[in-house]
Structure 1
């Protein structure tokens, strides 16, 4: 509170007003399709100007320094993840997995087939938007054959792709699971037991709700509607601008490259996904803990430590191995290899820059003297550090419409403070990691979220018809899992 204590009440009030005004304008224009790349620095400089802080210094030093650190830390993951997802799509591997699930489970288990299919590809490292555009036709065919209302398609796809495989399952290569690692010195497998329990809660609640809605529709005589709203194009600018801050793949690149008409066998299609999961585990649990990385303490490596970079290194190596295997197994099916690689690489650029821009905005806000009042309020939330971390991450993810952006802003501003509190309260940083990740994937699924808008578009549905079910499987289920993790973690510790 030292910086805030030196300010008069009038200046504190002015600083808080600047933060609120800038955040309001950022959200208002972002939801209307304006680019976050431009909005975030403008909003940050407005907050600095109202607070009577040096504007240019905050722009070129605070804002750009924080954004650059985020990009330096996570661009390899954005790049490899987007490339892997695009190659999986163009090789026909994602389609082959979807077809396998369709054949094995069929219309009688249409809902389960869509959920499991989505979980397989996203836990294996396929980008969310690639999964959307492949799973939607699969879901439509299954739902039509089973005569299940179209309005339940988005929720079924969201449950498999955007809930437990994004934030709870240990080892998931999702960018959301990677962001806390440098802050807490953790790995993607942080709190594995709690992560598995949270995944079971999310999946069980979501399937129960979807089954309940399907049964209700059958009693009411409702079936599949053959005519829905037109699917929104991937290059729709409003969809694109909202999407790039919520996930790590630019949807415009979906249409680039060439999807193979000859699909690989299921056994070949699943190999790269298995390599991602197994490679991630081997690197983080077996290889990296055994190497001598004392050289990282030298100034030329940023005076860092292995714990700060190991998680990112492990996921990068796993994705790289999977990409090489994918290319070797599917070379004949990748007829336009260069175009596919270019599209995958290009798909990573705008998302990482956009999220980095949000991170820069958060860094400027956190550097303002009046932010000490916000920090004190957040840390003063009853229930201890786990509860206050959950609340802060939830609120920022909701406001930004981005799980990754909201969590990074929260951790950039308060991560070191939570580490100190963890030491004081004997809390394992792995528990902080899992709470932060699950918290980021709850209220981010509000109506303005880019993934929600895109999913409704590709499924030919609307907010009016389908959003309530997305809320139940994507928000309520995740909140229930978060409560369970916080309660069990507080009583039993990390496991």
Structure 2
């Protein structure tokens, strides 16, 4: 019964998201409905003490990233840099490779350490321009961005700084470069199969006479303000964001003490405020690099950006608030679900899968699906079962690096169900609905989930690490 309650809450939220209802409203409804069926006396305490605590904690950490990412995407759009990059990309790769261009831009940013949420804001203006120029249906943009940003550079390629690839290091004593050959094999499978699927979808739409379409919402305004910027200049803000993030990630822990503190200058004797640098260094690095990108865009396109920035920034901030609230509400939902007895039933049932790597893959991706979070799923799975995974792997002679790579890739498997925060953000930013575009996102989800088992099979056949 406990498991059925968790499953019902999950299905209810997915249905609400798919039908276009606000997740900000229905995530707490679904979560508290599950609590009501489990223990009615805990509804109010869990709402205040867990749901709201986690929701506010998410906003505390990530809202600046959402806001700066949205503003960065907006100034890139207003400056005309997106148009310049699109024009040069079409000239370099041709109109028939518009999708590949967007996938590669997303991959470059995410592998450079830019947050997945930031990539959505930053790349969407490029994608809209490029798809409009190539007359590809707009409804295919979310699936294309998902392939580039949410898959192989998030957790497959060795060395990626995304959190999904970092979390397993603390459990297995590995590094972000664990199992490089397996990671490259998995990334290649995702990219090749994913591009074949997207191109098939494009050809099918073209055969039916479907183009970019009209009457869309959240459309970036077409740029028609004189001569286009040089493509290298247009790329400079993107390079600064990616490169600046890498540099600041290295510099910040060396500039700040491990736990800097200060005493607020107010009456009385307030306790000192202590900040743990290690926990926020990555966030500070992303925020600083986004500021560099914004300032760079203003420096080289001030005339074009300034006179439209007031209205543009209002739209960007509104979008950032909606996207961050959607994700924060989902985060609160995941926390409630993880605290219910039904979640423990799921976790315990997964122990009975015999093969160590298959067990780990199914466990991590199942918990990621339930919590609608790749990082949340891998954190919960490894916190609960890492000792079992390590024991079984040692008994079978499986290196810890392989455990790391399978866990990281499985985290990015079934996490992108309809109620996932990144999916909802992606659809909100692009102005599309689940009904219009989720089919392609789910296809990418199935491809990246299959890639985990391709990597497991590759390990057993070749012995690669």
Do structure 1's residue 199 and structure 2's residue 191 form an aligned pair? no
Count of aligned positions: 437
| Structure 1, gaps ≥5 residues long | 1-12, 235-251
Asked whether the equivalents of residues 26 and 39 of structure 1 are also in contact (C-alpha less than 8 Å), the reply is yes
CA RMSD of aligned residues (A): 4.7
Choose which of 63, 76, 94 in structure 2 pairs with 1:75: 63
1:122-141, aligned counterparts within 5 Å? Answer: 127-128=119-120, 131-132=123-124, 134-139=126-131, 141=133
Alignment partner, residue 453 of structure 2: 483
Choose which of 219, 238, 251 in structure 2 pairs with 1:287: 251
TM-score by length of 2: 0.73
Choose which of 353, 358, 382 in structure 1 pairs with 2:325: 353
Instruction: Give 1:489 deviation, angstroms.
Output: 8.0
Alignment partner, residue 338 of structure 2: 366
- Select between 85-94 and 19-28 the one with higher mean Cα deviation: 19-28
Alignment partner, residue 42 of structure 1: 29
1:115-154, aligned counterparts within 5 Å? Answer: 115-116=103-104, 119=107, 127-128=119-120, 131-132=123-124, 134-139=126-131, 141-142=133-134
TM-score by length of 1: 0.70
Measured against aligned partners, the alpha-carbon deviations of 1:146-175 in whole angstroms (never above 9, x if no partner) come to xxx9998886666445543555456778xx
Do structure 1's residue 103 and structure 2's residue 62 form an aligned pair? no
C-alpha distance in structure 1 between counterparts of 2:340 and 2:106, whole Å:
42
Alignment partner, residue 239 of structure 1: none
Choose which of 266, 282, 288 in structure 2 pairs with 1:311: 282
Instruction: Give 1:272 deviation, angstroms.
Output: 1.2
| Structure 2, gaps ≥5 residues long | 263-270
1:236-255, aligned counterparts within 5 Å? Answer: 252=218, 254=219
- Select between 366-375 and 485-494 the one with higher mean Cα deviation: 485-494
C-alpha distance in structure 1 between counterparts of 2:225 and 2:25, whole Å:
40
Choose which of 58, 62, 65 in structure 1 pairs with 2:46: 58
Alignment partner, residue 176 of structure 2: 190
* Change beyond 3 A, Cα 1:210–1:292: closer
Instruction: Give 1:268 deviation, angstroms.
Output: 1.0
- Select between 476-485 and 324-333 the one with higher mean Cα deviation: 476-485
Measured against aligned partners, the alpha-carbon deviations of 1:428-469 in whole angstroms (never above 9, x if no partner) come to 69974884466435572779965897899879x977xx95x7
Alignment partner, residue 267 of structure 2: none
* Change beyond 3 A, Cα 1:413–1:291: same
* Change beyond 3 A, Cα 1:151–1:179: closer
Alignment partner, residue 33 of structure 1: 20
* Change beyond 3 A, Cα 1:274–1:493: farther
Measured against aligned partners, the alpha-carbon deviations of 1:227-258 in whole angstroms (never above 9, x if no partner) come to 55844633xxxxxxxxxxxxxxxxx4x55x89
Alignment partner, residue 350 of structure 2: 378
Do structure 1's residue 92 and structure 2's residue 80 form an aligned pair? yes
